[in-house]
């Protein structure tokens, strides 16, 4: 079959000539171009049609090719992706066999496991797949199961905060508004409230709160959201006063509903686990691709709708941060999409799904939707799907909807479509047979799906998910590296003990020379503030330049040194770096004058100290700061500022995959004309063989008739040879001679056909060898990386400020900001 995995070709099964062709006649593998998935796909088929097997085979091929995927799993079937056993031993299958099924078959679980292992081994062998392919799958990507609001798999939360969309550029107004609306609609779905954009006061209020916070770059937590519902940061909704549109008493009821939801016993699970971040789902911390199976079978319908909506929103936001590409970058696979993308109605999940179907192609994100009933899916959205995998359908309505969708997609793509031919094909499909209608191909083909590498045991139970993910959960420990606030807290506690003294050292705000700039970090309203402690703040701009790497970057640096009884000559050696995005001090002191200020060290009260600290800061930054840049000369790619090696390797894989696809396509175009010419000559040679064989048969028949006639005349008693008999005998000899000559012509035609076939096969082999060379030279994991340490340009170092910073802390010395 060949090594197709690294050429962007997915081996999904074999092509059939018709639905009656037996599996023994399978000979032509169907190799699906991964780039075609950027125009999305639909898998439709009733229960038992083989829909799940096709979906898992497609995901397996994507993983082998290094394509990560997020798989939304409402039933629990996609967890089978983790049941891959390279050795195919019965002991591998035994923990997962269904004991009731074994009992029903009159077998012990061990016997059933042995039978299953043998079945799977034979099935893979029948499809020319070895256990090595299972090894490749496991080595290429990690398969994980996430359970939002559940502890069976890896916990996942979307409710710790509602952060504004991350973007360096001004947000697109339409996309920004859409994200606000879907966030509000998803939250109301969790509360089981209607989210009509015109008549729902709750929807309009939440949208206004989100818009106000996100426009100001503020992150909303559940606590601040509840508070904002009671006391919104605006007094009008539209042209009317807020109290007239939505009185305070009614707003309090909504706040209580949300608060009761948060306070309910089962809601705590929604706050557990890692945050919903698309990059973390698609790639491991080391940059390895992942198949992230998100199991939502344990959730209620409103909870499922809420989670899917939030996930799709995050995916839209992630998509817009990616560069454009023609190669497949990642997949979103959703099984049983019924209810999330209906033809009628507007659930909160529908709009982001439609956005993905319309726009994800440009970013290399492929969408694959699977359903039993095509009639339950939005027709306009399905017209954006370029590939349809169609299995046995339940009703004529389903078939009619499929035909409508195919006709619309063909019309949009400008490709021919025969409704009657497709209708006939759909009516004759058997199990694991699918009609593949790809707008990138000349016409529909018939597919018999291959044997999956993973064992298809059926839906996984909660216990089985827990058993599968226990080793992963055990290996994932919370990072012990403290963040900046924790380090500042530790430093403050070590300097002055855990409890601040509010005596002589603590009083009102100290009087300092006017030349000393004072800044104040605003306290968190939800945290108690015991006092303000002094710290030294340094802010600078660094310029990193490297012409060879095409680097020209300004970087902002903020350093904070918490002051003890004295400040060293070079305090920057002990200073902690602060994230610029979360640092916004104020120039005026807090309004609450009752909070005491700790007396600063004497050095912080002297103007000349700040001059020496400014010089020390510049020297410190020049001697210690280095910008690490990774480069891969073979791919002509360098890392971006702040990009980790894992993140760079993810981009590198995508760049190499694009280069590989372009090189492979160039090769195929190079050979296409020669192959097409040989194919035409082969067809003509086959026609000549058929023509020569027909003529040979005709001459044989004439010779046989003449010979028979001559023998018959002799048998009828004609003892003397007359002229007619002599003529008939001569004709017999000539016909026999012509038949022999035609036999020689047939042999010559067959030899010519064999020679052409040999040339065609040799050219195909030459193409395959060159494609394998493309594969070998486009493997991102073996390309060497170069590490560059770029110092800042000393003449360009700008010290923006060296200031006294007041930090609010609580009674234990912990930050209160």
Could you report the per-residue pLDDT of 557-590, keeping only the tens digit for each? 999 998 878 888 899 998 998 876 667 788 888 7
Span 112-165, pLDDT tens digits: 999 999 999 999 998 989 899 999 999 999 999 999 988 899 998 877 667 777
Same-domain check for residues 488 and 415: no
Same-domain check for residues 433 and 544: no
Q: Determine the 3-state secondary structure of 330 from DSSP.
A: strand
Q: Strands, E, within 633-711: which ranges?
A: 637-638
| Mean pLDDT along residues 338-360 | 89
The CA distance from 175 to 195, in Å, is: 18
The pLDDT, as a whole number, for residue 619 is 94
Judge whether 179 and 313 are in contact, CB under 8 Å: yes
Residue with tokens 């500042």: 488
- The pLDDT-based confidence of 5 (bands split at 50, 70, 90) is low
Same-domain check for residues 568 and 621: yes
Give the closest residue to 209 by CA, choosing from 191, 229, 181, 193.
Answer: 229
> Does residue 279 lie within any of the structural domains?
no
Convert 139-153 into a string of H (helix), E (strand) and C (coil).
HHCEEEEECCCCCCC
HSE-up (13 A, CA, CB side) for residue 412: 18
The CA distance from 605 to 164, in Å, is: 40
CB under 8 Å to 727, separation ≥6 — which residues? none
Same-domain check for residues 313 and 459: yes
Same-domain check for residues 573 and 622: yes
> Does residue 179 lie within any of the structural domains?
no
HSE-up (13 A, CA, CB side) for residue 625: 23
What is the 8-class DSSP label of residue 375? Answer: G
The pLDDT, as a whole number, for residue 720 is 47
Residue with tokens 């770096």: 577
> Does residue 108 lie within any of the structural domains?
no
Q: Strands, E, within 79-200: which ranges?
A: 142-146, 156-157
> Does residue 162 lie within any of the structural domains?
no
The pLDDT, as a whole number, for residue 504 is 39
Q: Is the pLDDT of residue 592 over 90?
A: no
| Mean pLDDT rounded to a whole number for the chain | 83
Span 754-781, pLDDT tens digits: 888 888 888 888 888 888 888 888 888 8
Span 676-690, pLDDT tens digits: 888 888 888 888 877
Give the closest residue to 373 by CA, choosing from 407, 343, 348, 345.
Answer: 343
> Does residue 66 lie within any of the structural domains?
yes
Helix (H) or strand (E) holding 277: none
Q: Which of 119-128, 221-230, 422-431, 487-496 has the highest mean pLDDT?
A: 119-128
The pLDDT, as a whole number, for residue 481 is 46
Alpha-carbon radius of gyration of the chain: 36
Same-domain check for residues 776 and 680: yes
Give the closest residue to 303 by CA, choosing from 405, 131, 202, 186.
Answer: 186
The CA distance from 92 to 86, in Å, is: 9
504 φ, ψ (degrees, to nearest 5): -65, -35
**Token code pair at residue 20:** 């009656």
> Does residue 204 lie within any of the structural domains?
no
What is the DSSP annotation of 624-652? Answer: H--EEEEEEGGGTEEPPTT--HHHHHHHH
Number of helices (H), then strands (E), belonging to the chain: the values are: 21, 25
> Does residue 280 lie within any of the structural domains?
no
Same-domain check for residues 53 and 140: yes
Same-domain check for residues 444 and 491: no
The pLDDT, as a whole number, for residue 4 is 54
The pLDDT, as a whole number, for residue 663 is 87
Same-domain check for residues 689 and 753: yes
The CA distance from 367 to 381, in Å, is: 11
Range of the domain at 579: 484-500+510-626+792-809
What is the 8-class DSSP label of residue 392? Answer: -
Rounded to 5°, the CA angle 507-510-511 comes to 145
- The pLDDT-based confidence of 605 (bands split at 50, 70, 90) is confident
The pLDDT, as a whole number, for residue 193 is 85
Who has greater pLDDT, 426 or 56? 56
How deeply is 422 buried, as exposed, middle or buried, from its count of CB atoms within 10 A (0-12, 13-18, 19+)? buried
Q: Is the pLDDT of residue 613 over 50?
A: yes
Same-domain check for residues 466 and 571: no
Q: Is the pLDDT of residue 1 over 50?
A: no
Span 10-44, pLDDT tens digits: 999 998 887 676 655 556 888 899 999 999 999 99
Neighbours of 403 (CB within 10 A): 18
The CA distance from 752 to 760, in Å, is: 12
What is the DSSP annotation of 571-602? Answer: GGGG-EE--GGG---BSS--S-TTS-EEPPPG
Q: Strands, E, within 159-306: which ranges?
A: 236-237, 240-241, 274-275, 290-295
Give the closest residue to 586 by CA, choosing from 401, 746, 807, 392.
Answer: 807
HSE-up (13 A, CA, CB side) for residue 66: 24
Q: Is the pLDDT of residue 447 over 70?
A: yes
336 φ, ψ (degrees, to nearest 5): 50, 65
| Mean pLDDT along residues 323-349 | 90
> Does residue 803 lie within any of the structural domains?
yes
Give the closest residue to 519 by CA, choosing from 508, 532, 528.
Answer: 532
The pLDDT, as a whole number, for residue 480 is 42
The CA distance from 267 to 150, in Å, is: 10
Same-domain check for residues 312 and 421: yes
Span 269-291, pLDDT tens digits: 887 888 888 999 999 988 899 99
Count of domains in the chain?
3
Q: In Å, how far from its chain's centre is CA 13?
A: 23
Q: Is the pLDDT of residue 638 over 60?
A: yes
98 φ, ψ (degrees, to nearest 5): -85, 110
The pLDDT, as a whole number, for residue 735 is 58
The pLDDT, as a whole number, for residue 491 is 57
Same-domain check for residues 316 and 387: yes
Taking each helix axis from N to C end, the angle separating 301-320 and 350-359, rounded to the nearest 10 degrees, works out to: 30
């Amino acid at each position: 079959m060949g090594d197709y995995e690294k050429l962007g070709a997915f081996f999904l099964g074999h092509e059939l000539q018709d639905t009656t062709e037996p599996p023994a006649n399978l000979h032509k593998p169907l190799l699906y171009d991964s780039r075609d998935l950027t125009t999305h796909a639909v898998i439709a088929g009733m229960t038992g049609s083989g829909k799940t097997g096709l979906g898992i085979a497609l995901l397996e091929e994507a993983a082998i090719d290094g394509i990560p995927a997020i798989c939304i799993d409402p039933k629990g079937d996609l967890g089978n992706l983790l049941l891959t056993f390279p050795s195919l031993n019965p002991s591998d299958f035994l923990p997962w066999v269904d004991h009731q099924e074994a009992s029903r078959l009159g077998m012990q679980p061990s016997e059933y496991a042995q039978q299953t292992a043998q079945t799977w081994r034979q099935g893979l062998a029948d499809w020319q797949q070895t256990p090595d392919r299972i090894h490749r799958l496991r080595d290429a990507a990690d398969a994980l199961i996430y359970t939002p609001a559940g502890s069976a798999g890896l916990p996942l939360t979307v409710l710790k905060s509602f952060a504004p969309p991350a973007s360096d550029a001004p947000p697109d107004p339409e996309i920004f508004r859409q994200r606000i609306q879907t966030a509000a609609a998803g939250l109301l779905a969790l509360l089981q409230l209607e989210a009509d954009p015109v008549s729902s006061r709750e929807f309009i209020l939440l949208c206004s709160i989100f818009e106000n916070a996100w426009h100001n770059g503020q992150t909303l937590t559940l606590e601040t959201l509840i508070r904002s519902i009671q006391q919104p940061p605006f007094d009008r909704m539209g042209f009317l006063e807020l109290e007239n549109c939505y009185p305070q008493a009614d707003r309090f009821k909504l706040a209580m509903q949300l608060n009761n939801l948060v306070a309910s016993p089962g809601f705590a699970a929604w706050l557990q686990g890692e945050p919903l971040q698309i990059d973390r789902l698609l790639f491991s911390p080391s940059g390895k691709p992942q198949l992230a199976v998100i199991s939502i079978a344990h959730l209620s319908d409103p909870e499922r709708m809420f989670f899917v909506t939030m996930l799709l929103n995050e995916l839209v936001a992630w998509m817009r941060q990616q560069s454009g590409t023609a190669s497949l970058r990642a997949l979103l696979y959703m099984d049983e999409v019924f209810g999330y993308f209906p033809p009628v109605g507007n659930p909160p999940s529908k709009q982001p799904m439609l956005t993905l179907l319309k726009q994800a192609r440009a970013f290399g994100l492929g969408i694959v939707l699977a359903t039993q009933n095509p009639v339950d899916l939005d027709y306009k959205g399905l017209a954006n799907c370029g590939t349809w995998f169609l299995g046995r359908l339940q009703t004529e309505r389903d078939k009619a909807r499929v035909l409508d969708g195919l006709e619309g997609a063909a019309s949009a793509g400008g490709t021919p479509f025969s409704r009657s031919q497709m209708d006939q094909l759909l009516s004759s499909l058997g199990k694991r047979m699918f009609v593949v209608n790809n707008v990138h191909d000349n016409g529909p083909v018939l597919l018999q799906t291959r044997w999956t590498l993973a064992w298809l045991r059926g839906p996984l139970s909660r216990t089985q998910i827990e058993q599968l993910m226990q080793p992963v959960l055990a290996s994932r420990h919370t990072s012990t590296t403290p963040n900046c606030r924790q380090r500042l807290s530790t430093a403050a506690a070590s300097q002055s003990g855990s409890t601040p003294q509010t005596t002589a050292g603590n009083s009102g705000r100290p009087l300092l020379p006017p030349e000393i700039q004072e800044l104040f970090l605003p306290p968190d309203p939800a945290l108690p503030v015991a006092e303000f402690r002094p710290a030294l703040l340094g802010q600078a701009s660094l310029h990193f330049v490297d012409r060879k790497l095409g680097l020209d970057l300004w970087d902002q640096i903020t350093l904070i040194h918490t002051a003890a009884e004295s400040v060293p000559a070079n305090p920057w050696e002990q200073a902690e770096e602060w994230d610029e995005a979360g640092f916004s001090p104020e120039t005026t002191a807090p309004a609450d004058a009752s909070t005491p200020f700790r007396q600063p060290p004497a050095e912080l009260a002297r103007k000349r100290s700040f001059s020496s600290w400014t010089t020390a800061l510049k020297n410190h930054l020049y001697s210690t700061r280095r910008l690490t840049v990774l480069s891969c000369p073979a791919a002509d790619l360098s890392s971006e500022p702040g990009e980790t090696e894992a993140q760079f390797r993810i981009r590198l894989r995508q760049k190499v995959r694009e280069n590989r696809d372009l090189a492979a396509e160039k090769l195929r175009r190079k050979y296409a004309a020669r192959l097409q010419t040989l194919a035409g000559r082969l067809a003509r040679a086959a026609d000549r063989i058929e023509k020569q064989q027909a003529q040979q048969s005709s001459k044989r028949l004439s010779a046989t008739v003449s010979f028979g006639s001559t023998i018959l005349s002799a048998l009828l008693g004609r003892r003397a040879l007359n002229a007619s008999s002599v003529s008939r005998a001569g004709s017999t000899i000539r016909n026999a001679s012509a038949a022999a000559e035609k036999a020689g012509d047939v042999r010559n035609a067959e030899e010519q056909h064999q020679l052409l076939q040999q040339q065609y096969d040799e050219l195909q082999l030459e193409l395959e060898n060159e494609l394998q060379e493309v594969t070998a030279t486009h493997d991102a994991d073996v390309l060497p990386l170069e590490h560059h340490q770029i110092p800042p340009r000393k003449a360009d170092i700008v010290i923006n400020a060296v200031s006294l910073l007041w930090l609010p802390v609580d009674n234990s010395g912990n930050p209160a900001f």
